[in-house]
Amino acid sequence: MAFLILEILNSFHRRLKSMEKLEIWRMLFTLNASGRKSQLFLRSSSLKHI
Residue 31, domain member (yes or no): yes
Domain span at 32: 19-50
pTM to 2 decimal places: 0.33
pLDDT-based confidence at residue 45 (cuts at 50, 70, 90): low
Residue 1, domain member (yes or no): no
Cα separation, 38 vs 5, in Å, equals 30
Secondary structure of residue 50 in the 3-state scheme: coil
- The C-alpha angle 16, 35, 33, rounded to 5 degrees, equals 75
Residue 24, domain member (yes or no): yes
Q: What is the pLDDT of residue 46?
A: 65
Residue 10, domain member (yes or no): no
Number of structural domains (the chain) is 1
Residue 46, domain member (yes or no): yes
Residue 50, domain member (yes or no): yes
Residue 14, domain member (yes or no): no
Dump pLDDT digits (tens) for 10-31.
Answer: 988 887 777 777 777 788 888 8
